[in-house]
Amino acid sequence: MESRVLDYTQTNVLGTHRLLEACTRQGVRRLIVASSSSVYGPADRPSREDDPTCPVSPYGVSKLAAEQLCLAYARRADSPLSAVALRYFTVYRPRQRPDMAINRVLDRGM
């Protein structure tokens, strides 16, 4: 698990920091950040975008940290940047976790 925590941190937090620095140098004005529903943590109902965040996994923590880093850059007085985070829920991809709903649906249908 420790190596995954390092991967998440390097990719989501440090990678976002590098991206923000490049955006600053290039005068980028708008940034859309791909985040995750994992920032909400467990829920007993469908999440809403104004629900409080409470990530329980290293991945969710790293995605929330990336969001907050973007917002911090956008709030700086000398920054022309505005940023928005899109919190994706289920995204299909190869080698996806088998417990994800989309994976189960596709397995049944094929």
The reported pLDDT for the residue numbered 89 is 85
| DSSP 8-state symbol, 11 | I
Domain segments of the chain as ranges:
2-109
Enumerate the active-site residues.
59
The two tokens of residue 52 are 């409080």
SS3 state at 48? coil
Q: What is the pLDDT of residues 4-28, one digit of tens each?
A: 999 999 999 999 999 999 999 999 9
Q: Which CATH number fits domain 2-109: 3.40.710.10, 3.40.50.720, 3.20.20.70, 3.90.1010.10?
A: 3.40.50.720
The two tokens of residue 102 are 């989309």
Measured CA to CA, the distance from residue 9 to residue 74 in angstroms comes to 21
pTM listed for this prediction:
0.83
Mean pLDDT over all residues of the chain?
90
